[in-house]
Amino acid sequence: MAIANDRGPVTRAPGKATRLSWLGLVGVGLMLVLLAAALVQARQFSLLREALKSGEEYSVLNIYRVETEYLQLREQWHRATDERVPLDLPALRLRYEIWVSRVDTLHAARPQKLIRDIVGHGGTQEQVDAFVAAADRVLGTQPAQPATRSSLQALVPALDDLSRPLHEMSLAAAHHVADQMARRAQTVRTQNLLGLGLTVFLSVLTLAFAAISLRQVRQLRERRLVLEDLATRLREARHEAEAASQAKSAFLANMSHEIRTPFHGLMGMLSLLRETGLAPRQIDYLRTATESADHLLAILNDILDMSQLESGRMTLAPAPVELRGLLRDVEALMRPQANAKSLALHIDADPAVPERVLADATRLKQILFNLLSNAIKFSDHGAVVLDVRSQADANGHPELEFTVSDTGVGMDEATQARLFNRFMQGDSSRSRRHGGTGLGLEISRNLARLMGGDITVRSKPGEGSRFTLRMPAHPLNDAAAVPTGDVGAGTAPAQMLSVLVAEDHPVNRQYLAALLESLGHQAHFTANGAEAVQAARQRRFDVVLMDLHMPVLDGVAATRAIRALPDPALSTVPIVALTADAFEETRERCMLAGMNDFLTKPVSPDKLSASLRRLFGAGVNAAPANPEAATPPVAPVRTDAQALLDEAAIGVSLQAMSRHRLGGMIASFLDQAPQTVQRLRAAVRDAQPLELRINAHAARGAALNLGLTGLAATAQALQEGAAHLPAHEIARLVQRYEEQVPRTREAARALGLLGPATAAP
């Protein structure tokens, strides 16, 4: 047979085929010899196992013992019948019982079989049993007649008659076992000789096989050297390619970060410029500039996400998410795009969909934004629908299904096959007209798989497309409030605590002061972490309530500083974290810093009481000490106010303070809202996402404590989107926050928490 290589055709020599044939024959011979050796070893093992299982040696030993005990019994019996020797009945009975116990061992199956094999009948056994029956009438446990010399003398002939048959049975048993062991030894010797012969033959075949294999190894060594050289070259080429890819990813990530920072400032200024008085022509120019900037920033975001996914640095931050609130946020941001193309946008959630789930809200929104944006982009008429359902996967586990349907042009199978590939776009002509990097769907699918789900697509040309995101559902149930117990009669008086509160937001300080006052505790307040450390150094407090996000020194750093104090009485004070972040990683960071407990905002009286009881036991004040705190629940509110106020949270707050006091805090918070809006807009204008996130987080925590859910949700959207949302979307969220302030004031006034509005003079 001819084989071609880079040097020309090569013909395989006949000798090589012959060597391979011999190698095969020797190999088959080796296998047969090994099989025969295995059979010999199995036979030897079987013989040994039968020898161990037979138990005849133990039976022979029992026969020997029966004869030995018989001889001792006979001697003791004759001594008992001798008139010259005192009669010792206890010794005789003991010797008789020992012999009878030995006789009983012969009634087992194996001794009985051995006796039948060596004697041929059971006469000896019957003779022994007959004597035992007669002797039991005198020496048994319930004798029928007294044991006297005469009664014992009467049994002497029967006792003596047992001597010969027992001795013959012992000799026969010994000869039988000896013959059996000789046969086994001969069989083992035969098997050993056979095994030795097989071993010699196996050694010869092994040497032959080794000789043939050695020649094969020498030939293969040359080929291996050639392959190793080729593998080395391929490895070096792969390392060079990986280094180039890593350098590319690092470069893209760095450039994306560097470019995004000034772009946020640029887009923030464009958003602020839109609010000034402009001529129609200037507004048109501004719209074009904003759209171009949005497009370029979206490209940069896609490149950054792709580089993070490639390098494995992207991680999820799951947290409790109000699913329907998230869908409302998505709808609010996507509806302007749909309205611009006269498309209907419908978002529907099945009643079976859980209210709250554990998910990364930011990444889930990113996927839905991408799918809806594509559906709107490639649809010129009709409607775009987002349908959310809850169902079970193939294994019966609950999952969420987000389906985005459109009435666009659709796609053929070839287009769908390359749809999720990098830099590939479904319709090149339409994609060129609409723009895009070709990364959005790949990023969305990678994020979905990072969440444990996937994205699939069904589409036909002219019939629209249907994208389905499936992800595991982790529904959350609202934790039952820990009941606060009153101090009953006969119990020890409740313990009043000295509490240090580190909180930078003034409204939150007022709120916590009311909560602690209602529980009968004394509070001392500081505005940042550095002041908290200084206060903890100067005097001893029973517990510290530590906000995490504070200026100068945050809560984690302040906790570490307190734990490092030299005085053990001061450094071991219990510290409880206060934060609006419910992330597990935030909780772990607090515990590692040395905190003792973790409370998420809004902080209710029940939550605070439960935490104090965990730290100090049931002896601390747990019920509101203020009689005015027993305010009845708030009355139902109008439907349009339900999205702005949380009746349950307000009702809980009214358990700890009067309606007038809570209304004053709400009024103070709303009065400070213009300054909050100014700080948020300044952060957008100056491209400072960290400052934006800090201010939004502070506003969210205070709003949650006061039950202002609308403002809290908008502040949360600002906090989550500070790092990746386009500047114009952030500006719209700031505008929404500003517009919600007067509506929230009216809703609070409708609840009777604020006084009536006064007319301007």
Query: Sign of dihedral through CA atoms 32, 37, 43, 49?
Result: negative
pLDDT at 2 (0 to 100): 44
pLDDT at 562 (0 to 100): 92
Average pLDDT on 117-128 reads 71
pLDDT at 620 over 90: no
Average pLDDT on 427-446 reads 62
Confidence of residue 483 (pLDDT cuts 50, 70, 90): very low
Decide if 747 contacts 637 (C-beta within 8 A).
Answer: yes
* CA 524 centroid distance within chain: 41
Average pLDDT on 126-139 reads 83
pLDDT at 276 (0 to 100): 65
The whole-model pTM stands at 0.37
Q: Residue 487 gets which letter from DSSP?
A: P
pLDDT at 200 (0 to 100): 78
Candidates 639, 761, 728; CA nearest to 275 is: 728
pLDDT at 434 over 70: no
**Beta-bridge partner residues of 390:** 400
User: Which tens digit of pLDDT belongs to each residue from 516-550?
Assistant: 888 888 999 998 899 999 999 999 999 999 998 88
Q: What distance in Å separates the CA atoms of residue 245 and residue 306, rounded to the nearest whole number?
A: 12
Confidence of residue 51 (pLDDT cuts 50, 70, 90): low
pLDDT at 318 (0 to 100): 80
Report the mean per-residue pLDDT for the chain. 78
pLDDT at 761 (0 to 100): 37
pLDDT at 300 over 90: no
Residue with tokens 């094999």: 117
Query: Sign of dihedral through CA atoms 701, 704, 706, 709?
Result: positive
pLDDT at 645 (0 to 100): 86
Confidence of residue 6 (pLDDT cuts 50, 70, 90): very low
Residue with tokens 């209907």: 344
Other beta carbons less than 10 A from residue 13's beta carbon: 9
User: Which tens digit of pLDDT belongs to each residue from 648-669?
Assistant: 778 777 877 888 888 888 988 8
Confidence of residue 405 (pLDDT cuts 50, 70, 90): very high
Decide if 441 contacts 459 (C-beta within 8 A).
Answer: no
Decide if 459 contacts 410 (C-beta within 8 A).
Answer: yes
Burial class (CB in 10 A: 0-12, 13-18, 19+), 491: exposed
Confidence of residue 274 (pLDDT cuts 50, 70, 90): low
pLDDT at 49 (0 to 100): 64
Q: What distance in Å separates the CA atoms of residue 689 and residue 380, rounded to the nearest whole number?
A: 36
Number of H helices, E strands in the chain: 27, 14
Confidence of residue 140 (pLDDT cuts 50, 70, 90): confident
Confidence of residue 18 (pLDDT cuts 50, 70, 90): low
Mean pLDDT lowest among 14-18, 239-243, 717-721: 14-18
Q: What distance in Å separates the CA atoms of residue 519 and residue 616, rounded to the nearest whole number?
A: 14
347 φ, ψ to 5°? Answer: -125, 120
pLDDT at 531 (0 to 100): 93
Mean pLDDT lowest among 135-144, 221-230, 566-575: 135-144
pLDDT at 468 (0 to 100): 93
User: Which tens digit of pLDDT belongs to each residue from 69-84?
Assistant: 888 888 888 888 888 8
pLDDT at 431 (0 to 100): 45
Average pLDDT on 52-60 reads 63
Q: Please give the residue that has the higher pLDDT: either 21 or 172.
A: 172
pLDDT at 466 (0 to 100): 92
pLDDT at 757 (0 to 100): 60
Average pLDDT on 423-430 reads 48
Mean pLDDT lowest among 41-50, 432-441, 580-589: 432-441
Report the percent of the chain where pLDDT is more than 90: 9
Decide if 528 contacts 552 (C-beta within 8 A).
Answer: yes
Q: What distance in Å separates the CA atoms of residue 368 and residue 353, rounded to the nearest whole number?
A: 17
- Whether domain 315-472 has CATH 3.30.565.10: the reply is yes
Mean pLDDT lowest among 192-206, 592-606, 617-631: 617-631
Other beta carbons less than 10 A from residue 133's beta carbon: 10
pLDDT at 485 over 60: no
Burial class (CB in 10 A: 0-12, 13-18, 19+), 583: middle
Distance set, CA 458 to CA 319, 405, 545 (Å): 31, 10, 53
List, in order, residues 6 or more apart from 11 with CB less than 8 Å away: 1, 2, 3
Sheet holding 383-392, edge to edge: 344-349, 383-392, 398-406, 465-472, 454-459
User: Which tens digit of pLDDT belongs to each residue from 325-369?
Assistant: 888 888 877 888 888 888 888 988 888 899 888 888 888 988 998
Confidence of residue 372 (pLDDT cuts 50, 70, 90): very high
pLDDT at 618 (0 to 100): 65
User: Which residue spans within 481-534 are E strands per DSSP?
Assistant: 498-502, 522-526
User: Which tens digit of pLDDT belongs to each residue from 19-40?
Assistant: 556 667 767 777 776 777 777 7
Mean pLDDT lowest among 234-238, 344-348, 494-498, 734-738: 494-498
Q: What distance in Å separates the CA atoms of residue 522 and residue 499, rounded to the nearest whole number?
A: 6
pLDDT at 622 (0 to 100): 57
Mean pLDDT lowest among 1-15, 251-265, 715-729: 1-15
Confidence of residue 615 (pLDDT cuts 50, 70, 90): confident
Candidates 378, 362, 380, 341; CA nearest to 466 is: 378
Confidence of residue 628 (pLDDT cuts 50, 70, 90): very low
Q: What distance in Å separates the CA atoms of residue 151 and residue 87, rounded to the nearest whole number?
A: 13
Q: Please give the residue that has the higher pLDDT: either 316 or 391.
A: 391
487-600+613-624: which CATH topology? Rossmann fold (3.40.50)
* Residue extents of the structural domains in the chain: 55-161, 315-472, 487-600+613-624, 626-761
CATH number of 626-761: 1.20.120.160
* CA 190 centroid distance within chain: 62
DSSP of 367-436:
HHHHHHHHHHHT-SSSEEEEEEEEEE-TTS-EEEEEEEEE-S----HHHHHTTTSTT--S-HHHHHHH--
Helices 647-654, 659-671: crossing angle, 10 deg rounding: 120
